[in-house]
Amino acid sequence: LRTIEWDAERKQVKMIDQRLLPGRLSYIYCQSGEQVSHAIKTMAIRGAPALGVAGAFGVALAMLELSQKRPVDWYEKLLSSCKSLEESRPTAVNLAWGVNRVLSLINPQHSDLEGAARIALEEASRIAEEDVATNMQLAINGSALIDDGDTIIHHCNTGALAGVDWGTAFGAIRFAHEQGKRVHVLVDETRPRLQGARLTAWECEQYGIPYEIITDNAAGYYLRNGRVQKVFFGADRVTANGDVVNKVGTYMLSLAAQANKIPVVCVFPITSVDLSVDNGDEVEIEERPMDEVLSLEMNGVKIAPANAKARNPAFDVTPFQLITAWVTDKGIIRSQFSQIIKRYVYNKPSDGK
């Protein structure tokens, strides 16, 4: 089961439509960069690593289209497709990373547009393969922090659906489960789009991982009463000082965990690190439509008055002081984040202490 992949027969990008889960597992197919941008904006595909791969395939599709139509200003058109892909969701840095990695291989002076499209598609497919390998390594590294018998609160969806496979924090839980460790997951719902209740719970079912869903606001109760040993989540962007920009609610969860001396573990690939930004307060937080908050119904009745307004930031910032361990594919960092992460990003060996 792959969240996103190239369908060679159709010459289209195939992705699981995450809006329909857990009710139905079905796929959508994209044949242009524009369709990929739309799929990202409307959350058919989401989760930081998956967005990186979607961005990469989006550029490849845009290049493919241009190689068929051959407009004179093809490179300007390609740049404009890249811009709209990047802007479709601004917070997860993986999206811009995926787009730019493919774009950087396209030479504006190129006259062989079919060749350029081939190069773009090969690179996007390579990024998708690398995502699986990186996430597997994350799963191995993160599972080392999980003990037999742990109950873990998990936020949002960070599983296979958030990458091509495995994902980030949930991948570590899945790997620990596969190693035979007894883990129990308290899956928080993750209002307003309920990625926890809809997607993480669905993944728990797929892999046979014991779980219960809790409301987001029950987390403090469980953290205080001694029934939880760890909190696990991913990241949409990690800044140079170790601040974590992640799904809204991560900050409150981390505060409650720290107050109760429960370890807070953040699991992310190096591609989610943005060293160009000093701290989380400098990151653009995506504000999503208010109807995501207001459109729910209970017993057939809307949960808010017809004229109610809402605010809907999709992410928040958890300051580095609240993080116990940053798990990356290169190793685990427990302190001195800013020094060690530079060595990881620039590929220099380090003892990770």
Instruction: Give the residue carrying structure tokens 């290049």.
Output: 63
Q: Which residues contact 245 (CB under 8 A, 6 or more apart)?
A: 91, 235, 236, 237, 238, 239, 280, 283, 285, 315, 316, 317, 318
Q: Binding marks (x or -) toward ligand MRU, 171..200, rule CB under 6 A?
A: ------------------------x-----
- Rounded to whole angstroms, the Cα distance separating 307 from 87 reads 30
Size of the site for ligand MRU (CB under 6 A): 18
- Rounded to whole angstroms, the Cα distance separating 128 from 187 reads 27
Between 33 and 196, whose beta carbon lies closer to ligand MRU?
196
The two structure tokens encoding residue 303: 């949960």
Name the segment binding ligand MRU (CB under 6 A); options: 97-105, 113-121, 172-180, 230-238.
230-238
Among 3, 6, 47, 186, binds ligand MRU (CB under 6 A): 47
CB of 113 to ligand MRU, least distance (A): 33
- Answer for the pair 260, 330: CB distance below 8 angstroms, yes or no: no
Q: Which residues contact 143 (CB under 8 A, 6 or more apart)?
A: 172, 173, 175, 176, 179, 181
CB of 78 to ligand MRU, least distance (A): 25
Among 3, 246, 271, 324, binds ligand MRU (CB under 6 A): 246
Between 78 and 256, whose beta carbon lies closer to ligand MRU?
256
Q: Is 49 in the site for ligand MRU (CB under 6 A)?
A: yes
Instruction: Give the residue carrying structure tokens 């941008």.
Output: 37
Positions 77 through 116 that interact with ligand MRU (CB under 6 A): 92
Q: Is 247 in the site for ligand MRU (CB under 6 A)?
A: yes
Q: Is 236 in the site for ligand MRU (CB under 6 A)?
A: yes
Among 16, 138, 153, 162, binds ligand MRU (CB under 6 A): 162
Say how many residues make up the chain: 353
Name the segment binding ligand MRU (CB under 6 A); options: 126-134, 162-170, 298-306, 317-325.
162-170
- Answer for the pair 249, 255: CB distance below 8 angstroms, yes or no: no
Pairing of strands 325-327, 264-267: parallel
Provide the 3-class DSSP secondary structure of residue 188: strand
CA 39 to chain centre: 15
Task: Estimate the crossing angle of helix 169-178 against helix 113-143, to 10 degrees.
Answer: 60
Q: Which of the residues 131, 150, 216, 236 is marked catalytic?
A: 236
Between 124 and 162, whose beta carbon lies closer to ligand MRU?
162
* Residue 61 identity: L
* Ramachandran angles phi, psi of 67, nearest 5°: -70, -25
CA 134 to chain centre: 13
CB of 170 to ligand MRU, least distance (A): 8
CB of 12 to ligand MRU, least distance (A): 22
Residue 278 bears catalytic tag: no
Q: Is 254 in the site for ligand MRU (CB under 6 A)?
A: no
Q: Is 234 in the site for ligand MRU (CB under 6 A)?
A: yes
Positions 295 through 314 that interact with ligand MRU (CB under 6 A): 314
- State the residues that interact with ligand MRU by CB under 6 A: 46-49, 92, 156, 158, 162, 167-168, 195, 233-236, 246-247, 314
Catalytic residue set? 236
